[in-house]
């Protein structure tokens, strides 16, 4: 899901990067969104773009897309910085559904895609913990909205737990010993590339020799990049598992 919200500095924005992955027979989803938040001086932060990609758990191909812009209610006016950073202009959020309405439509879409079936295992995939650990629950708490259980577990693409990795390390050196690859709390990208992706998706794409898709800080484009990175890592032998802790 990708979303954007008004930032704390009067309309500065940042992307929420994440996704939802479901295992066979259901497909996975990627979720990045864009938001504007307290790190720029305004409180509360608000989500303004909410995109989700549903990925096939076997092929990692995109099977379905959810994408909506969100009308900010506390700070309804976007700042020039937010527009410059995210590409989202005022007209794109004016008259759009509120976060409550968008979350209701997310739930309808999840049901339509079979992702609420108790026999289907699915999980969101994010580029960082902030979006689902802080941003979404924080805004929902401020607005008095419930947080669906499916938003309470996720895979942080930066910190993927590996069962085993048997392919090349991806950083130009020879394959590492298997025992060394079986660390329980390893970062998928840094484990493969030998460095931590300080600049998130941009660094990941560069390290994996992937072309960055679309515009940085665009929620829907971030979703596509997450999906592409996941597919590349999966082909290299990575096993993706939940990294979030219950809360």
- Tens of pLDDT, residue by residue, the chain (247 residues): 333 322 333 333 333 444 554 444 344 565 555 555 433 445 777 899 999 999 988 888 899 999 999 999 988 998 888 888 888 999 999 999 999 999 999 999 999 999 999 988 889 998 888 889 988 999 999 999 999 999 999 988 877 533 323 333 333 333 444 444 334 334 455 555 555 566 678 888 887 889 999 888 888 999 999 999 888 888 877 777 788 887 6
Per the CB < 8 A criterion, the answer to whether 226 and 201 are in contact is: yes
Q: What is the pLDDT of residue 143?
A: 94
Burial 137-157 (b: 16+ CB within 10 A, else e): bbbbeeeebeeeebbebbbbb
Rounded to two decimals, the pTM is 0.75
Per the CB < 8 A criterion, the answer to whether 70 and 47 are in contact is: yes
Report how far residue 108's alpha carbon sits from residue 105's, in angstroms, rounded to the nearest whole number: 5
- The helix (run of H) or strand (run of E) holding residue 221 is helix 219-235
Q: What is the pLDDT of residue 79?
A: 84
Length of the chain equals 247
SS (H, E, C) 161-206: CCCCCCCCCCCCCCCCCHHHHCCCCCCHHHHHHCCCCCCCHHHHHH
Per the CB < 8 A criterion, the answer to whether 225 and 201 are in contact is: yes
Per the CB < 8 A criterion, the answer to whether 152 and 123 are in contact is: no
């Amino acid at each position: 899901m990708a979303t954007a919200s008004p930032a704390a500095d009067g309309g500065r924005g940042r992307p929420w990067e994440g996704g939802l992955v479901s295992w066979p027979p259901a497909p996975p989803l990627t979720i990045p969104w864009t938001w504007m938040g307290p790190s720029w001086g305004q409180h509360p932060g608000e989500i303004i773009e909410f995109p989700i990609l549903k990925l096939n758990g076997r092929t990692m191909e995109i099977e379905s897309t959810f994408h909506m812009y969100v009308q900010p209610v506390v700070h309804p006016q976007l700042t020039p910085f937010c527009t410059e950073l995210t590409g989202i202009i005022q007209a794109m959020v004016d008259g759009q559904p509120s976060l409550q309405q968008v979350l209701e439509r997310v739930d309808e879409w999840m049901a339509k895609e079979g992702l609420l079936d108790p026999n289907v295992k699915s999980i969101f995939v994010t580029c960082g913990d902030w979006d689902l650990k802080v941003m979404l629950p924080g805004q929902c708490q401020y607005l008095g909205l419930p947080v669906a259980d499916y938003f309470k577990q996720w895979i942080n693409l930066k910190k993927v737990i590996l069962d085993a990795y048997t392919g090349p390390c991806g950083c130009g050196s020879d394959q590492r010993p298997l025992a060394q690859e079986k660390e329980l709390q390893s970062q998928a990208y840094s484990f493969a590339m030998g460095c931590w992706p300080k600049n998130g998706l941009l660094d990941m794409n560069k390290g994996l020799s992937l072309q960055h898709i679309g515009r940085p800080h665009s929620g829907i484009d971030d979703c596509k990049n997450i999906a592409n990175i996941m597919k590349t890592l999966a082909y290299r032998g990575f096993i993706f598992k939940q990294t979030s802790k219950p809360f």
